[in-house]
Amino acid sequence: MSIVAKRVVLQSDEFKVVAYHNINSEMDQNEIESWQKLIRVLTHEIKNSVIPISTLTEVISHMVTQEDGSNLSLSSLSEEDEKDIRKSLQTIEKRSKGLVKFVSSYGDLAKIPQPQLEEFDIKNLIRQIISLEKTEANKKDIKISFSSGKKEVIIKADPQLLEQVLINLIKNAIEALNGQKDGEVTVFMEQSEQLTSIKIKDNGPGMDQEILNNIFIPFFTTKKGGSGIGLSLSRQIIRAHKGNLKVSSKLGEGSVFEITL
Ligand SMILES: Nc1ncnc2c1ncn2[C@@H]1O[C@H](COP(=O)(O)OP(=O)(O)OP(=O)(O)O)[C@@H](O)[C@H]1O
Ligand SMILES: [Mg+2]
């Protein structure tokens, strides 16, 4: 990689990425595009929260000011105006709390803990997660299966972090099958001398190329109420283990996420 220098500047109300780089290699170009996409998502989220806060404070300020610019006594406000002000204050509170939550989750993404490696049976962990997720899946008529023999599969990894990744991937698979008949999530595992591979497969709607290009970018989501953190966090965790998290997907057929460690 040959990025020489990179800086981000804020221009008027829009973020703009200014990058000094050598764009000869495809890697650099992809990285710059990821930055630009991330900043677009951040800008969108921040604007969505801040614009109503700014508009509502302006409205309230106007309501408590007389035409000559002097303060209006609050006791002279009509009942209706008072009600409006209370409602606006509630919205401001909700939006600003939402923004704080969003910013904290962004902070969480930036500080993935160093994996605490230990040897454990990954099959056992997968079984435990599946039995927890089964309740949710059964409610939606979705089958989850894990084909594994009796033999344990010992890996060296951080069990808590790996559990987080597996939960994210299994949840995504279940969410993709929402409302679909014959929905099925299958977890496969293989271990050779050098590698352990865990695949989470669903027969959901799959993703088109445009979505596939974006799913690992922080805050990218197509779900109402989704935070878009699950996959980028999962990829960071797997990379911190020096492993890989890959996806393949076909529209109308489903998706497979593969962890290799
Ligand atoms: N198995 C899947 N099938 C189809 N689309 C998927 C699948 N897994 C992920 N996606 C797509 O990738 C996007 C990003 O997933 P990610 O887990 O990062 O965020 P999310 O599920 O939207 O929100 P959350 O942060 O709450 O998990 C999803 O919104 C969805 O569009
Ligand atoms: Mg998710």
Position 78 scores a pLDDT of 92
Q: Given a cut of 50, is residue 13 above it in pLDDT?
A: no
Q: Give me ligand 2 centre to Cα 46, in Å.
A: 21
Q: Is 153 in the pocket of ligand 1 (CB under 6 A)?
A: no
Q: Given a cut of 90, is residue 79 above it in pLDDT?
A: yes
What are residue 250's DSSP bridge partners? 254
Q: Which residue has the higher pLDDT, 9 or 43?
A: 43
Range 194-198 average pLDDT: 93
pTM for the complete prediction? 0.72
Confidence at 149, pLDDT banded by 50, 70, 90: low
Position 197 scores a pLDDT of 94
Per-residue pLDDT reduced to its tens digit, 100-112:
877 777 777 777 7
Structure tokens given for 96: 């600003």
Position 5 scores a pLDDT of 31
Confidence at 28, pLDDT banded by 50, 70, 90: low
Position 91 scores a pLDDT of 85
The mean-pLDDT minimum among 35-44, 169-178, 209-218 falls in: 35-44
Position 224 scores a pLDDT of 87
Position 24 scores a pLDDT of 43
Range 144-172 average pLDDT: 90
Position 175 scores a pLDDT of 95
Please give the number of the atom of ligand 1 that sits closest to the Cα of 226.
23
Q: Give me ligand 2 centre to Cα 172, in Å.
A: 5
Tell me the one-letter amino acid at 137: A
C-alpha 154/C-alpha 143 separation (Å) is: 26
Position 31 scores a pLDDT of 62
User: What's the mean pLDDT when you consider all of the chain?
Assistant: 83
Q: Is 172 in the pocket of ligand 1 (CB under 6 A)?
A: yes
The mean-pLDDT minimum among 11-20, 72-81, 215-224, 238-247 falls in: 11-20
CA distances from 120 to 45, 126, 145 (A): 40, 11, 21
User: How many other C-beta atoms can be found within 10 angstroms of the C-beta atom of residue 115?
Assistant: 18
Beta pairing, strands 244-250 & 254-260: antiparallel
